[in-house]
Structure 1
Amino acid sequence: MMQRVALKMKLHAGQAEEYKRRHDELWPEMKELLKGIGVEDYAIFLDEETNILFASLKIDDPALLDTLPQHPTTKRWWAYMADIMDANPDNSPVSVPLSEVFYLP
């Protein structure tokens, strides 16, 4: 059964257009990696007032998301994105998991 996962990240001010451009040109190998672990219905929204990014996705086994940091493609993507968003020392985006409080199927 698909499970919903949501998180928030922070974009640097003035980087919304660049963030969108980079995702419009998402590398095929990144798409394959995400699809390969079962990610579906992945969307990212921007609150332009706060520069907070809200991401949501569906996946059968959320534990598979924990395999992404070890993948070279993920590491390259993080390095590519680190200049336009809050990032940890390893270039991974600073992200906060969100708890679901309501769902209307």
Structure 2
Amino acid sequence: MSERACFLLHLRPELVAEYLEVHREVWPEVLEALTRSGWRDYSLFLRAEDGLVVGYCETDDFAAATAAMDREDVSARWEATMSKYFRPAPGDGSDRPRERLVEYFHLD
């Protein structure tokens, strides 16, 4: 059974255009690593005026897929290049920009 995961990322509004430009050509090695790590049907949505990004993916186990991606060398390199675009998640206290949302309703 697939798990649906939704999360928020908070971009620095002044860097939104540059962030979008970088995502026109995501490194093929990153795409391969995401697939290998179990990320499926992965989408990112943007509210440009304040830099809010909504991410969605399906996976067998989001925690395991995230951990697998964290072990990928290319992920560390990609994240290092992307870090300048993000603000920390509100109230998170960590340097990880992802804020996971809780699914409470779904209609198939």
Query: Number of aligned pairs?
Result: 102
CA contact (8 A) 1:69 1:75 kept: yes
CA contact (8 A) 1:86 1:94 kept: yes
Quote the residue 1:100 is aligned against: 103
CA offset digits 1:41-99 (Å, max 9, x no partner): 111111223321110000122222222223211110111111111259xxx64111100
Q: CA deviation at 1:21?
A: 1.6
Quote the residue 2:70 is aligned against: 69
TM-score w.r.t. length of structure 1: 0.85
TM-score w.r.t. length of structure 2: 0.83
Quote the residue 2:83 is aligned against: 82
How far apart are the structure 2 equivalents of 1:98 and 1:28? 28
The one-letter amino acid paired with 1:96 is E
How far apart are the structure 2 equivalents of 1:64 and 1:43? 15
How far apart are the structure 1 equivalents of 2:88 and 2:78? 12
RMSD (Å), alpha carbons: 1.8
Which sections of structure 1, spanning at least 5 residues, go unmatched? none
Which sections of structure 2, spanning at least 5 residues, go unmatched? 90-94
CA contact (8 A) 2:9 2:52 kept: yes
Identity of aligned residues (%): 28
User: Map of 1:18-97 to 2, 5 A cutoff?
Assistant: 18-62=18-62, 63-86=64-87, 93-97=96-100
